Amino acid sequence: MKLHQALADLARDHGHDLFRDATAFRGSLDDYLDEGQASSGTINLLTDAVRLGALDGMVTMLDSGANPADAVESAGQRLARDRGSADVRGCQWAVAVLGFALGKVPESLVAGLDPDAGTAAPPSYGPGGTAPVQHTPPPPAPMTSPVAPPQQPIVSPAHQPMVSPPHPVQQGAGGAGYGGPSYAAGGWSQQPTPPKKKSNTGFIVAAIVVALVLVVGGVIGIVALANGGGDDKKADDPETTASSTESGGTDEPTDKTDTPPADALQGLGYYFTLPAGWKDATEDFLAQNPGVTTLDKVAIWGSTFNTARANVIVETQSAYGSTDPADLESSWKTALSSGDASVEVTDIDEKTIDGQSAIGVDISRTNDNGVEVSQRAYLVISGDKGYSITVSLKKGDDGVFDKFDEILDGWTWTE
């Protein structure tokens, strides 16, 4: 089987979203391709096409009606420029191969480009140097199976909640904490050692689990306000609650439709109705934590993010072919507790979320302010996506769990 056909199988088996995440894509190539099917130079080139945005740019052009040959030419030139490479033809081949895998580029266009050019590594002179003229592409690197450096998945450093932030808070690189450095270029996870080849639940399962729990540890910082007793009073204001309840409509059951009601919070593949006193705080959270790629929605009980009584965070990413959350359970629990000596994770009963079975855990931990925090998290798969849904609250404020159940009981999948 030729490489572009193998990549088309990869896209079919694990979804197109995999081709938007350079780290997961690279790991899946190491896992999915047969030994000797692609050189390390070819794999690096294909990964760069994803990481540097050349593939996304080409898909955007094609979706806007561009001619495939023109889109491949333009995207290949961009990739060569961003890599600091004079091998424009090899870069055009790389984006054409990926475009074919996604069903965007005809196979004849791939065949018309030189596949051996795809193995050329970036030149040593770099983006700012003078590129030597290459009349023919360099010979391919030896056909060996690339092995990723043995690194741990992104469950470290320890989760560090924010400490009364008078200044902007940023998500720590490589962990679900506050007050750490901002994200380094290149993504939010590190690549673990790939498992045996053709394993459908190896690296890919680990990658999705790591992604899904990226924010879970960090959300405990949101309730750090309990350190100073600054809870948002609007969350407990009976007048506010009564007013919202009166405008909430009738108690009579209604038929479920795919059209979200006007007061629903709509996410990627789902929506739910916010309880009285809750609001969408996604933009607020992202402003303080830029670069959190798995975050989909944040809802808070209160008026502002940093003074909310509680919050619910929804993360999502491609499930890469998994349909059972049990495939992810062990790694998910490990990632929930890794790096935090104070954490305790306890299994709870499974829950059905709009027809989909969800694995649940209760989490208790102490943040850096000495505040005891409770969390409840569910891991669920719907369609081709995995979802981690987590509520965070100050320990003892158990009324929040009733609101969380209200959210989940009204949850509707749209895909």
What strands lie across the sheet with 270-273, from one edge to the other? 264-267, 270-273, 412-413
pLDDT at 379: 93
| Torsion over CA: 149, 154, 158, 162 (sign) | positive
The answer to whether 309 and 396 have CB atoms below 8 angstroms apart is: no
Q: In which residue ranges of the chain is pLDDT below 70? A: 114-258, 291, 305-306, 338-339, 368-369
Domain ranges of the chain: 3-119, 203-413
Q: What is the pTM of this model?
A: 0.49
Q: Across-strand partners of 351?
A: 358
203-413 topology per CATH:
Protein Transport Mog1p; Chain A (3.40.1000)
Assign 237 to helix, strand or coil: coil
In this prediction, residue 194 carries a pLDDT of: 40
- φ, ψ for residue 170, nearest 5 deg: -125, 150
Residue 66's nearest CA partner among 20, 104, 93 is 104
What CA–CA distance (Å, rounded) separates 254 from 143? 61
pLDDT at 47: 92
The half-sphere exposure of 210 on its side-chain side, counting CA atoms within 13 A, is 21
Q: Residue 220 gets which letter from DSSP?
A: G
**pLDDT at residue 235, rounded to an integer:** 54
Q: What is the pLDDT of residue 14?
A: 84
